[in-house]
Amino acid sequence: MFNSRPSRRTFVAHFAALAGATTLFPDASFAHPSIVPGDEPEAWLTALTGRHRQLFHSHDKWAKGLDYATRFKLAYPVEYGVKPADVNSVLAAHGKTGIITYTDAAWDKYGFGKTFDVKEPKSDNPATHNVFYAGTAEDAGVREALAAGVVVLSCRTMLRGMASGLAEQKKFGTAEEIERDLTASLIPGVILVPAMIIAISRAQEQHCTYLYTG
């Protein structure tokens, strides 16, 4: 009858062979791949030099990611006695939360408040300006996040999707024209990345820990 359990001698021989292969080919499986031209970390990634690096992934909850990212950047040095430069905080404004990265003019022109069901403060009227730009006593806004040194990312894939949808309304121009306008309408200091899912992965490659904020 066939014995599926290898003998001790066979096991030792296989283990020795594996060890020899690892010695002969040390880079086959475990070494980090070399960076090839065109795949170098972007400037915002190379600027993440702090010992404590955290990325906050915001997708549906408008203000939660902003608040977490700002509090992390400001509170960490105070609570743990480290230098502010030792703390990097990144906000990935993904999905519908990406509209928090656009100026008041874009909100008014393209009707983001109505499209995304965002109301004016203390009102049932659709917001005609970016109500997440300036913070409140309870929650930080984009302005406060940027001032604190938070790296705020916006997604070009989402931008292109919005441009395509807006072009169907036949009143804002072509998708290409709207894409250029939206790109120019990002809040100064916000960084536009090609695709947020890739940016999140590349941030983790730069040793950022990850937190999904909803």
Task: Point out which residues pair with 91 in neighbouring strands.
Answer: 56, 152
Q: Where are the domains of the chain?
A: 51-212
According to the model, what pLDDT value does residue 36 have? 66
Percentage with pLDDT > 90 across the chain = 76
- Greater confidence, 25 or 7? 7
Residue 83: which residues within 8 A CB-CB, separation 6 or more?
A: 77
Q: Find residue 126's DSSP bridge partners.
A: 119
Residue 191 near residue 153 (C-beta atoms within 8 A): yes
DSSP run (H or E) holding 24: helix 8-24
Contact 211, 57 (CB under 8 A): yes
Residue 57 banded pLDDT, cuts 50, 70, 90? very high
Residue 14 reports pLDDT greater than 60: no
| Span 124-135, pLDDT tens digits | 999 999 999 998
Q: 25-50: per-residue pLDDT in tens?
A: 334 333 445 666 678 899 999 999 99
Across 22-26, 32-36, 110-114, least confident range: 22-26
Question: Region 95-105: what's the mean pLDDT?
Answer: 97
Top-confidence residue, 36 or 51: 51
- Give the pLDDT score at 6: 39
pLDDT, residue 40, reads 86
What value does the CA radius of gyration of the chain take, rounded to a whole number of Å?
A: 24
pTM across the whole model: 0.82
Homologous superfamily (CATH) of 51-212 is DsrEFH-like (3.40.1260.10)
4 or 42: which leads in pLDDT: 42
Beta-strand runs (E) in the chain = 52-58, 87-93, 151-155, 191-193, 209-212
Query: For 164-206, how does the pLDDT look when each residue is reduced to its tens digit (9 = 90+)?
Result: 999 999 999 999 999 999 999 999 999 999 999 999 999 999 9
For the chain, the residue count is 214
Give the chain's count of helices (H) and strands (E): 9, 5
pLDDT of residue 27: 40
Query: How high is the pLDDT of residue 33?
Result: 54
For residue 143, pLDDT over 70 is answered with yes
